[in-house]
Amino acid sequence: MEYLSLKWLHILSAFFLFGTGVGSAFYKLMADRSGDTRTIAIVMRHVVLADWIFTTPTILIQPISGFRLAYLAGFSFTSGWLAAALILYIIAGACWIPVVFLQIRMRNLAEKAAASAQPLPDEYHRSARLWFWLGVPAFISMTVVVYLMVFKPF
């Protein structure tokens, strides 16, 4: 694959990764704020699906295309900006892995509550808080990664 095609794939993949994360977080938070268990169950089902369809492939595409681009462009893998971006990407990934399991658990809890017309259990709310706080460093890390990729400041 030529450099520009690979770069386009890398950028498109970054858009999907970042966009799916921000979009899923927005819709999940709005559904939770509604307090409607049926709405929460539906949104959680879609959040989990979006993670499998969009986030999982991009999580794999990003480092593969990124390393290949760095190699083709002649960047040293010890360049400060590239090393920092990789560390931040790993931090975001370390936050994302437990988030996936939390989302699946919250989906299951919400679907069970909706099916029985019961309120969400406390476990859902605890999981939602942990999900949110894991999302903060992941979001910040990915924002800085995009900055580093664009500006290569050091």
Q: According to the model, what pLDDT value does residue 137 have?
A: 98
Q: According to the model, what pLDDT value does residue 135 have?
A: 97
pTM: 0.93
Q: According to the model, what pLDDT value does residue 11 have?
A: 97
- Long-range pairs, 77-86, Cβ under 8 A, ≥24: 79/152, 79/154, 80/154, 81/148, 81/151, 81/152, 81/153, 81/154, 82/148, 84/144, 84/148, 84/154, 85/144, 85/145, 85/148, 85/149
Please say whether the beta carbons of 114 and 38 come within 8 A.
yes
- Mean pLDDT over each residue of the chain, to the nearest integer: 97
pLDDT in tens, the chain (154 residues): 899 999 999 999 999 999 999 999 999 999 999 999 999 999 999 999 999 999 999 999 999 999 999 999 999 988 999 999 999 999 999 999 999 999 999 999 999 999 999 999 999 999 999 999 999 999 999 999 999 999 999 9
CA dihedral (110, 115, 120, 122) in degrees, to 10, reads -80
Q: According to the model, what pLDDT value does residue 1 have?
A: 80
